[in-house]
Amino acid sequence: MTDTLPDRLSVNPKSPYYDEALLLRGVGVRFKGEEKTNVEEYCVSEGWIRVSAGKAVDRKGNPLTMLLKGPVEVWIKDDQAEA
């Protein structure tokens, strides 16, 4: 598997940007210099992340999310552990 990360990735299996193999390896996301652990989806080229808004869910059980704009950095976590 290549070490290049996609421009856009989602943790929702219904999304066309979902990649289970990559998510199992572990993907780290840094937004505005701070590591985020509650990211539902990100896009590096457009400079945004979608984060869950607490424990709130919609009527179908999906988490409510907020779109935050700013610089986004991503990396594969298991590569960092080996170094």
**28-74: per-residue pLDDT in tens?**
999 999 999 999 999 999 999 999 998 999 999 989 999 999 999 99
Domain locations in the chain as residue ranges: 8-76
* CA distance linking residue 68 with residue 40, whole number of Å: 11
Cβ atoms of residues 48 and 42 within 8 Å: yes
pTM over 0.85: no
